[in-house]
Structures are given as C-alpha cells and as structure tokens.
Amino acid sequence: MKKTNIILLVVVAISIAVIVTMVGDFSTYETFATASSSAGKDYKVISVVDTTRAMEYNALKDANLFSFYAKDKSGQIRKVVFSGTKPTDFEKAESVVLTGKIVGNEFHCREIQMKCPSKYKKDQVAIGKTI
C-alpha cells in the first residue's frame, strides 16, 4: 500500500472514533425519577419553579447556597440545592434547566439555565406607525 493510503485510512479511523465518543456525550433532558434511578450521574432536568414553597437564600449567612423546590415535566416535586448565588430575576423564569444529580432526596444542582418569558406574546398587538 502507498503511504498516502495508509495515512488516509488512519485519519478515517480516528474520525470515526471521535464521532462515536462524541455521540455518547450528548445529553437529553430527563425527569427527577430518572435521575434518582442512577444516583451519582449528572442529568439535565427541565422544570418549573414551585412558587408555593419558600426559597431559601441568605447572602449574609452563605452566599453560595440557594435552595428551592421545582416540578419536572412528569409532575414530581423535588428540593433543589444550588451551590451558587441566586440568579437575578429567578422568580420571573418560565422554566429552568437544572444540571446536577440526586443526593438523598434532593437534587444537587451545579448549573441553572433560566428560560425567561418571551417579549413576543400572542395576545400582544404590534403598534405600527400610521401616516
């Protein structure tokens, strides 16, 4: 075989190996029940903040501890413990994507991504310029 064919074959093999390993890293959104079935593994859970229960955040006592309750798409409610400061306008978020794992009965979150209300609502009418 020629050297160029061997090099091309090695490049193709490496490319296939990289693609196969990357496919395993793609995460999907799960529920709290799925996350509790495999404790210790990180999951992304789409949820809605349960505003009927109190949020706990005291910047003077511990600025890197924020806890609240969230309800996932299956309706299960869990206490979420976030090791970080409370995000600005957290109460206004329509939903949140929580990245973390189940520890005991709590979901320990290391990242919060908020989905804020859209400024484009169906019931709003655009005001146009009239001549």
Strand locations in 2-129, DSSP E?
29-30, 43-49, 56-57, 66-72, 77-82, 95-103, 106-115
pLDDT number for residue 118: 67
- Host H or E run for residue 7: helix 3-23
Query: How big is the chain, counted in residues?
Result: 131
CATH class in words for 28-115 = mainly beta
pLDDT number for residue 56: 92
- Host H or E run for residue 39: none
Domain locations in the chain as residue ranges: 28-115
Which residue type is seen at 61? K
Q: Are 124 and 97 in contact (CB under 8 A)?
A: no
Q: Output the tens digit of pLDDT for each of the chain's 131 residues.
A: 788 888 998 999 998 888 877 665 555 788 888 888 877 788 899 999 998 898 999 888 888 899 999 999 999 999 999 988 888 888 888 899 999 999 988 999 999 998 877 655 555 555 555 45
pLDDT number for residue 107: 93
Which residue type is seen at 18? V
